[in-house]
Amino acid sequence: MMMRANAGLANKMIERILELSADAHIRRRGTIKDSPEFNKLTGAIAAYGKTLALLTALQRREEFYVIIGEGGVPACLQPVC
């Protein structure tokens, strides 16, 4: 049950970061290239990307441990006959 609650929270966080990133992309399109605001938004977009990479990696790791914890073996680790 706790894993499902954590997964739901992670999904909400990922969704929110995607929204923030999209907003920053839209705002950056309306600014002058190489202006301080443009550079600020570029930095924010990069930070959102890094955050998304971290959250999705953690989410995949958690899903892997759920599979292993349930006694299952992922298909990629099954022996080839």
Every domain of the chain and the residues it spans: 2-77
Share of the chain above pLDDT 70, in %: 69
Please state at what angle helix 2-29 crosses helix 36-69, rounded to 10 degrees.
160
Sign of the C-alpha dihedral, residues 12, 19, 49, 42? negative
Question: pTM of the entire structure?
Answer: 0.70
C-alpha to C-alpha distance for 37 and 3, rounded to whole angstroms: 40
pLDDT class of 7 with cuts at 50, 70, 90: low
Task: Return the amino acid letter for 40.
Answer: K
